Chains A and B, each alone.
Chain A
Protein backbone atom coordinates (compact mmCIF):
# COMPACT_ATOMS: atom_id res chain seq x y z
CA UNK A 1 0.00 0.00 0.00
CA UNK A 2 1.52 3.30 -1.05
CA UNK A 3 1.36 6.30 1.29
CA UNK A 4 -1.20 7.88 -1.05
CA UNK A 5 -3.52 4.92 -0.65
CA UNK A 6 -3.06 5.08 3.11
CA UNK A 7 -4.14 8.73 3.14
CA UNK A 8 -7.11 7.97 0.91
CA UNK A 9 -8.23 5.17 3.22
CA UNK A 10 -7.99 7.44 6.26
CA UNK A 11 -10.03 10.12 4.54
CA UNK A 12 -12.62 7.58 3.36
CA UNK A 13 -13.01 6.28 6.90
CA UNK A 14 -13.29 9.80 8.26
CA UNK A 15 -15.95 10.54 5.66
CA UNK A 16 -17.88 7.42 6.61
CA UNK A 17 -17.71 8.31 10.31
CA UNK A 18 -18.93 11.84 9.59
CA UNK A 19 -21.76 10.51 7.42
CA UNK A 20 -22.80 7.98 10.04
CA UNK A 21 -22.90 10.63 12.75
CA UNK A 22 -24.73 13.20 10.63
CA UNK A 23 -27.42 10.69 9.72
CA UNK A 24 -27.94 8.83 12.99
CA UNK A 25 -27.70 11.44 15.75
CA UNK A 26 -30.78 13.26 16.92
CA UNK A 27 -29.28 16.58 17.82
CA UNK A 28 -29.04 19.17 15.05
CA UNK A 29 -25.64 20.37 16.16
CA UNK A 30 -24.14 16.91 15.81
CA UNK A 31 -25.41 16.76 12.24
CA UNK A 32 -23.36 19.87 11.61
CA UNK A 33 -20.34 18.31 13.32
CA UNK A 34 -20.67 15.34 10.98
CA UNK A 35 -20.77 17.67 8.00
CA UNK A 36 -17.61 19.38 9.20
CA UNK A 37 -15.89 16.01 9.47
CA UNK A 38 -16.92 15.16 5.92
CA UNK A 39 -15.55 18.47 4.62
CA UNK A 40 -12.30 17.88 6.46
CA UNK A 41 -11.93 14.43 4.97
CA UNK A 42 -12.29 15.93 1.49
CA UNK A 43 -9.58 18.46 2.39
CA UNK A 44 -7.30 15.62 3.43
CA UNK A 45 -7.92 14.00 0.07
CA UNK A 46 -6.90 17.17 -1.74
CA UNK A 47 -3.70 17.53 0.26
CA UNK A 48 -2.81 13.87 -0.25
CA UNK A 49 -3.19 14.16 -3.99
CA UNK A 50 -1.26 17.41 -4.01
CA UNK A 51 1.63 15.82 -2.18
CA UNK A 52 1.79 12.49 -3.98
CA UNK A 53 0.44 13.43 -7.37
CA UNK A 54 2.20 14.91 -10.40
CA UNK A 55 3.10 18.60 -10.49
CA UNK A 56 2.99 19.66 -6.84
CA UNK A 57 4.53 23.03 -7.73
CA UNK A 58 1.22 24.19 -9.16
CA UNK A 59 -0.11 24.28 -5.58
CA UNK A 60 -3.65 23.62 -6.73
CA UNK A 61 -4.38 21.21 -3.87
CA UNK A 62 -3.26 23.72 -1.26
CA UNK A 63 -5.29 26.50 -2.85
CA UNK A 64 -8.49 24.47 -2.95
CA UNK A 65 -8.05 23.47 0.69
CA UNK A 66 -7.51 27.09 1.78
CA UNK A 67 -10.75 28.12 0.10
CA UNK A 68 -12.52 25.02 1.39
CA UNK A 69 -11.55 25.85 5.00
CA UNK A 70 -12.90 29.37 4.59
CA UNK A 71 -16.15 28.16 3.07
CA UNK A 72 -16.62 25.49 5.73
CA UNK A 73 -16.14 28.05 8.49
CA UNK A 74 -18.73 30.37 6.91
CA UNK A 75 -21.15 27.48 6.50
CA UNK A 76 -20.69 26.37 10.10
CA UNK A 77 -21.42 29.90 11.29
CA UNK A 78 -24.61 30.21 9.28
CA UNK A 79 -25.73 26.69 10.15
CA UNK A 80 -25.29 27.22 13.85
CA UNK A 81 -27.09 30.56 13.67
CA UNK A 82 -29.98 28.74 12.01
CA UNK A 83 -30.01 26.11 14.75
CA UNK A 84 -30.11 28.80 17.43
CA UNK A 85 -32.97 30.56 15.66
CA UNK A 86 -34.88 27.29 15.30
CA UNK A 87 -34.27 26.50 18.96
CA UNK A 88 -35.88 29.77 19.88
CA UNK A 89 -39.00 28.61 18.10
CA UNK A 90 -39.21 24.91 18.92
CA UNK A 91 -37.46 25.09 22.32
CA UNK A 92 -35.55 21.96 21.40
CA UNK A 93 -32.58 21.09 19.21
CA UNK A 94 -33.93 17.62 18.50
CA UNK A 95 -34.17 17.02 14.77
CA UNK A 96 -37.10 14.63 15.10
CA UNK A 97 -39.28 17.31 16.67
CA UNK A 98 -38.79 19.81 13.87
CA UNK A 99 -41.50 18.34 11.72
CA UNK A 100 -43.67 21.31 10.75
CA UNK A 101 -42.99 23.48 7.78
CA UNK A 102 -45.11 26.27 9.19
CA UNK A 103 -44.51 27.19 12.82
Chain B
Protein backbone atom coordinates (compact mmCIF):
# COMPACT_ATOMS: atom_id res chain seq x y z
CA UNK B 1 0.00 0.00 0.00
CA UNK B 2 1.33 3.38 -0.95
CA UNK B 3 2.60 5.77 1.72
CA UNK B 4 -0.04 8.28 0.64
CA UNK B 5 -2.79 5.83 1.48
CA UNK B 6 -1.23 5.05 4.86
CA UNK B 7 -0.85 8.69 5.82
CA UNK B 8 -4.40 9.61 4.78
CA UNK B 9 -5.84 6.56 6.54
CA UNK B 10 -3.96 7.36 9.72
CA UNK B 11 -5.14 10.97 9.72
CA UNK B 12 -8.73 9.90 9.08
CA UNK B 13 -8.75 7.34 11.87
CA UNK B 14 -7.09 9.71 14.32
CA UNK B 15 -9.60 12.45 13.53
CA UNK B 16 -12.52 10.02 13.85
CA UNK B 17 -11.27 8.83 17.24
CA UNK B 18 -10.89 12.47 18.31
CA UNK B 19 -14.39 13.24 17.05
CA UNK B 20 -15.82 10.59 19.30
CA UNK B 21 -13.78 11.27 22.41
CA UNK B 22 -13.27 15.01 22.85
CA UNK B 23 -15.16 16.82 25.58
CA UNK B 24 -16.12 19.96 23.73
CA UNK B 25 -18.77 19.27 21.12
CA UNK B 26 -17.59 21.90 18.67
CA UNK B 27 -14.13 20.36 18.73
CA UNK B 28 -15.79 17.01 18.00
CA UNK B 29 -17.61 18.51 15.03
CA UNK B 30 -14.39 20.03 13.66
CA UNK B 31 -12.53 16.72 14.05
CA UNK B 32 -15.40 15.09 12.18
CA UNK B 33 -14.75 17.56 9.36
CA UNK B 34 -11.12 16.43 9.22
CA UNK B 35 -12.23 12.78 9.21
CA UNK B 36 -14.68 13.40 6.35
CA UNK B 37 -12.07 15.31 4.37
CA UNK B 38 -9.64 12.44 4.94
CA UNK B 39 -12.25 10.05 3.58
CA UNK B 40 -12.66 12.25 0.52
CA UNK B 41 -8.89 12.08 0.04
CA UNK B 42 -9.12 8.27 0.25
CA UNK B 43 -11.79 8.25 -2.45
CA UNK B 44 -9.56 10.39 -4.65
CA UNK B 45 -6.67 8.02 -3.96
CA UNK B 46 -8.83 5.13 -5.15
CA UNK B 47 -9.70 7.00 -8.32
CA UNK B 48 -13.31 7.97 -7.62
CA UNK B 49 -13.04 11.65 -8.46
CA UNK B 50 -16.72 12.53 -8.63
CA UNK B 51 -17.51 10.79 -5.36
CA UNK B 52 -14.59 12.49 -3.60
CA UNK B 53 -15.69 15.97 -4.64
CA UNK B 54 -19.33 15.17 -3.89
CA UNK B 55 -18.27 14.00 -0.41
CA UNK B 56 -16.57 17.35 0.27
CA UNK B 57 -19.49 19.31 -1.15
CA UNK B 58 -22.19 17.44 0.77
CA UNK B 59 -20.50 16.38 3.99
CA UNK B 60 -17.94 19.08 4.72
CA UNK B 61 -19.93 21.88 3.14
CA UNK B 62 -23.38 21.01 4.43
CA UNK B 63 -23.67 18.20 6.98
CA UNK B 64 -20.83 19.53 9.14
CA UNK B 65 -22.40 23.00 9.22
CA UNK B 66 -25.72 21.35 10.12
CA UNK B 67 -24.11 19.52 13.04
CA UNK B 68 -22.43 22.69 14.23
CA UNK B 69 -25.70 24.63 14.09
CA UNK B 70 -27.43 21.86 16.04
CA UNK B 71 -24.70 22.01 18.68
CA UNK B 72 -25.23 25.75 19.05
CA UNK B 73 -29.02 25.57 19.05
CA UNK B 74 -29.03 22.94 21.78
CA UNK B 75 -26.60 25.00 23.85
CA UNK B 76 -24.08 22.19 23.97
CA UNK B 77 -21.14 24.29 22.91
CA UNK B 78 -19.75 24.90 26.39
CA UNK B 79 -17.33 22.30 27.70
CA UNK B 80 -19.48 20.05 29.87
CA UNK B 81 -18.48 19.71 33.50
CA UNK B 82 -20.37 16.50 34.10
CA UNK B 83 -19.54 13.05 32.81
CA UNK B 84 -19.46 12.70 29.06
CA UNK B 85 -19.80 8.95 28.89
CA UNK B 86 -23.11 7.20 29.32
CA UNK B 87 -23.40 4.49 31.98
CA UNK B 88 -22.51 1.17 30.44
CA UNK B 89 -19.83 2.67 28.28
CA UNK B 90 -17.48 -0.22 28.90
CA UNK B 91 -19.93 -2.64 27.31
CA UNK B 92 -20.13 -0.36 24.29
CA UNK B 93 -16.35 -0.31 23.87
CA UNK B 94 -16.15 -4.09 24.22
CA UNK B 95 -18.88 -4.59 21.64
CA UNK B 96 -17.19 -2.30 19.13
CA UNK B 97 -13.87 -4.07 19.70
CA UNK B 98 -15.58 -7.39 19.00
CA UNK B 99 -17.18 -5.95 15.85
CA UNK B 100 -13.82 -4.69 14.62
CA UNK B 101 -12.15 -8.00 15.41
CA UNK B 102 -14.80 -9.90 13.47
CA UNK B 103 -14.70 -7.61 10.46
CA UNK B 104 -10.92 -7.51 10.44
CA UNK B 105 -10.59 -11.26 10.68
CA UNK B 106 -13.11 -11.66 7.85
CA UNK B 107 -11.25 -9.16 5.68
CA UNK B 108 -7.85 -10.72 6.24
CA UNK B 109 -8.80 -14.38 5.97
CA UNK B 110 -11.53 -14.34 3.38
CA UNK B 111 -10.95 -16.44 0.30
CA UNK B 112 -13.57 -14.67 -1.79
CA UNK B 113 -11.55 -11.50 -2.27
CA UNK B 114 -9.85 -10.95 -5.63
CA UNK B 115 -6.12 -11.59 -5.41
CA UNK B 116 -4.67 -9.43 -8.16
CA UNK B 117 -5.26 -5.71 -8.53
CA UNK B 118 -7.02 -4.79 -11.79
CA UNK B 119 -5.84 -1.68 -13.64
CA UNK B 120 -7.39 1.62 -12.66
CA UNK B 121 -10.77 2.09 -14.34
CA UNK B 122 -11.34 5.01 -16.65
CA UNK B 123 -14.43 6.69 -15.25
CA UNK B 124 -15.60 10.03 -16.46
CA UNK B 125 -18.43 12.12 -15.14
CA UNK B 126 -20.10 11.54 -18.48
CA UNK B 127 -20.30 7.78 -17.80
CA UNK B 128 -21.76 8.44 -14.37
CA UNK B 129 -24.31 10.81 -15.89
CA UNK B 130 -25.22 8.32 -18.60
CA UNK B 131 -25.80 5.57 -16.06
CA UNK B 132 -27.81 7.89 -13.82
CA UNK B 133 -30.10 8.70 -16.70
CA UNK B 134 -30.50 5.22 -18.15
CA UNK B 135 -29.89 2.42 -15.71
CA UNK B 136 -30.36 4.24 -12.40
CA UNK B 137 -33.07 6.70 -13.34
CA UNK B 138 -35.60 5.19 -10.92
CA UNK B 139 -33.34 5.52 -7.86
CA UNK B 140 -32.55 9.06 -9.00
CA UNK B 141 -36.19 10.08 -9.01
CA UNK B 142 -36.82 8.32 -5.73
CA UNK B 143 -33.86 10.16 -4.17
CA UNK B 144 -35.37 13.41 -5.38
CA UNK B 145 -38.64 12.58 -3.64
CA UNK B 146 -36.80 11.45 -0.52
CA UNK B 147 -34.80 14.67 -0.30
CA UNK B 148 -37.95 16.74 -0.77
CA UNK B 149 -39.72 14.79 1.96
CA UNK B 150 -36.71 15.10 4.27
CA UNK B 151 -36.48 18.84 3.64
CA UNK B 152 -40.14 19.49 4.34
CA UNK B 153 -40.12 17.13 7.31
CA UNK B 154 -37.05 18.69 8.90
CA UNK B 155 -38.47 22.18 8.53
CA UNK B 156 -41.79 21.17 10.07
CA UNK B 157 -40.19 19.30 12.97
CA UNK B 158 -37.78 22.06 13.87
CA UNK B 159 -40.16 24.97 13.34
CA UNK B 160 -41.26 26.88 16.39
CA UNK B 161 -44.62 25.71 17.63
CA UNK B 162 -47.26 28.33 17.03
CA UNK B 163 -46.25 31.95 16.74
CA UNK B 164 -48.77 33.03 19.39
CA UNK B 165 -47.02 31.12 22.14
CA UNK B 166 -43.55 32.42 21.37
CA UNK B 167 -43.80 35.77 23.08
CA UNK B 168 -40.64 36.46 25.03
CA UNK B 169 -42.00 39.11 27.38
CA UNK B 170 -42.71 36.86 30.34
CA UNK B 171 -39.76 35.85 32.48
CA UNK B 172 -40.95 32.26 32.67
CA UNK B 173 -39.87 29.46 30.44
CA UNK B 174 -38.51 31.10 27.31
CA UNK B 175 -39.53 29.22 24.19
CA UNK B 176 -36.63 28.48 21.95
CA UNK B 177 -37.25 30.08 18.58
CA UNK B 178 -35.34 28.98 15.56
CA UNK B 179 -35.44 32.30 13.78
CA UNK B 180 -33.98 34.64 16.33
CA UNK B 181 -30.24 34.31 16.49
CA UNK B 182 -30.01 36.02 19.85
CA UNK B 183 -31.38 32.90 21.50
CA UNK B 184 -28.01 31.27 21.02
CA UNK B 185 -26.37 33.93 23.09
CA UNK B 186 -28.31 33.67 26.34
CA UNK B 187 -26.23 32.12 29.07
CA UNK B 188 -26.85 28.40 29.24
CA UNK B 189 -29.25 27.21 31.93
CA UNK B 190 -27.51 25.88 35.01
CA UNK B 191 -26.60 22.20 35.22
CA UNK B 192 -28.47 20.90 32.25
CA UNK B 193 -31.65 22.90 32.85
CA UNK B 194 -34.49 20.53 33.58
CA UNK B 195 -37.98 21.86 33.07
Contacts and interface: CB of A to CB of B under 8 A. Distances in A.
Contact of A82 (B20, B66, B157): B157
B185 interface: no
Interface residues of B, number: 90
Nearest to A92: B192
Q: Interface on chain B toward A: helix, strand, loop, or mixed SS?
A: helix
Interface of B: 1, 5, 9, 12-13, 16-17, 19-21, 25, 28-29, 32, 35-36, 39, 42-43, 46-48, 50-51, 54-55, 58-59, 62-63, 66-67, 69-71, 73-76, 83-89, 92-93, 95-97, 99-100, 103-104, 107-108, 113-115, 117-118, 120-121, 123, 127-128, 131-132, 136, 139, 143, 146-147, 150-151, 153-155, 157-158, 161, 175-176, 178, 189, 192-195
26 contacts: A3-B1, A4-B117, A6-B1, A9-B104, A12-B100, A16-B97, A17-B16, A17-B96, A20-B92, A21-B20, A30-B25, A40-B59, A51-B48, A53-B114, A54-B118, A62-B48, A65-B51, A78-B150, A80-B69, A81-B153, A81-B157, A84-B158, A84-B178, A87-B73, A90-B195, A92-B192
Given A5-B113, A77-B150, A78-B157, 15 more contacts: A4-B113, A8-B107, A12-B103, A14-B13, A21-B19, A29-B71, A37-B16, A37-B35, A59-B131, A67-B143, A69-B55, A83-B70, A83-B74, A91-B195, A97-B194
